[in-house]
Structure 1
Amino acid sequence: MIQKKPAKHLHAKRTGSGIIIPGKCGPPPPVNNADTVQLTKKEYSTGERVEYICFNKYTLELRHPFSRYLTCQQGEWSGKIKCLKPCTVTVEIMNKRGIGLAYADQQKMFAPHDDHLTFACQRDKYSVGIALRQKCNDGVMALPKCV
């Protein structure tokens, strides 16, 4: 019995003139809540990489398998980029829960990922349940309640 070897696929990019250029990548793909640090080109060679930066108040995830770069490899972009969301708190939500910000300016009602906000009970109210200091985790923060 004759066994066929699997076909090798060579990635290529077709140009406007119909010429195929092996191993080239087009412009880098968009990434949620991020943009490229430098202006992008129409074409990249294998091994070239593009650096991304997260939008204001978002935090770049740098733990494996994430990075700040995407790399062109044989006509395909490789790598993973993730921007972690900040947490936001409104005066309306804090009033409903009987809390306010303990130390921060009442205008600073956001916390970047992995940062903390410390709350205080409003006058004549007492904390029930969770701690008054809470940590932001990718846009999610548990809020204490005072009654």
Structure 2
Amino acid sequence: LDDFFIGQTMVVFYSVNMLKPHDSCEFLQRYSPAAPPSSPFHISPGACGKPPTIDDGIILAGIKEHYAENDQVTYGCPLYYTIEGGPYKTCINGEWIGEIRCNKPCTVDRDATNRHNIEFKYTRSDKIITEHNDMIEFRCKRGRRIGPVSMRQRCVHGVVDLPTCSE
């Protein structure tokens, strides 16, 4: 491991000889705006490091080796997930700015409805996958609703409360 300073910024390199066979060969470097522009360690003020990951999301566009002020990356979410905020993060003054969240869908299947003695009100399907914030309506297979949970429920970040009906 070698480290040294350029201006006030410490530059760190990991030697390939220190890596074990199963390790990845990832070099960690911190660049300095104080380095001469011709130096490989120079980057312009305001540049950003690697864009952050987001839960359940991926970067769709804008991936590069180095990021300068005002560079953008575009995020996306999987099928049935909804994106909240974004879809961009922008490099501003050395930080990635932009709020993005991938909201999980809700899945309700036959096993869950059977346990609660309910069925979907508007479909004969055995399974529903619905997006965050969508409403699902149920009805009793037999009997009547028991408990405080309404027959109309909203999907909230992958969770939907299920009503229960008596046998």
Please give the TM-score of this superposition, normalised by the length of structure 2: 0.69
Residue aligning to 2:43:
21
Q: How many Å separate the matches in 2 of 1:104 and 1:19? A: 61
Q: How many Å separate the matches in 1 of 2:161 and 2:118? A: 13
Structure with greater Cα Rg: 2
Alpha-carbon distance, 1:59 to partner = 1.0
SS in 2 for 1:20: coil
Residue aligning to 2:77:
54
Alpha-carbon distance, 1:82 to partner = 0.8
Q: How many Å separate the matches in 2 of 1:127 and 1:93? A: 15
Residue aligning to 2:123:
104
Alpha-carbon distance, 1:27 to partner = 3.1
Conserved? CA contact 1:26–1:42, under 8 Å: no
Where do 5+ consecutive residues of structure 2 fail to align? 1-7, 10-28, 33-38
Q: Mean alpha-carbon deviation: is it higher for 31-40 or for 134-143?
A: 31-40
Residue aligning to 2:3:
none
Alignment root-mean-square deviation, CA = 2.5
Q: How many Å separate the matches in 1 of 2:133 and 2:161? A: 13
**Closer, same or farther in 2 for the Cα pair 1:104/1:27, shift >3 Å?**
farther
Q: How many Å separate the matches in 1 of 2:133 and 2:150? A: 16
Alpha-carbon distance, 1:20 to partner = 2.7
SS in 1 for 2:100: coil
Conserved? CA contact 1:13–1:21, under 8 Å: no
Report which structure shows greater RCO (CA 8 Å, sep ≥6): 1
Q: Mean alpha-carbon deviation: is it higher for 43-52 or for 17-26?
A: 17-26
Alpha-carbon distance, 1:84 to partner = 1.2
Conserved? CA contact 1:48–1:72, under 8 Å: yes
Alpha-carbon distance, 1:39 to partner = 5.1
Q: Which amino acid aligns with 1:125?
A: G
Per-residue CA distance 1:101-123 (angstroms, 9 max, x = gap): 1213424422111101111211x
SS in 2 for 1:95: helix
Conserved? CA contact 1:46–1:74, under 8 Å: yes
Residue aligning to 1:116:
135
Q: How many residues align?
A: 132
Query: Would you say 1:126 and 2:148 are equivalent positions?
Result: no
Q: Which amino acid aligns with 1:32?
A: D
Please give the TM-score of this superposition, normalised by the length of structure 1: 0.77
Alpha-carbon distance, 1:42 to partner = 1.2
Q: Which amino acid aligns with 1:51?
A: T
SS in 2 for 1:21: coil
Q: How many Å separate the matches in 1 of 2:140 and 2:159? A: 21
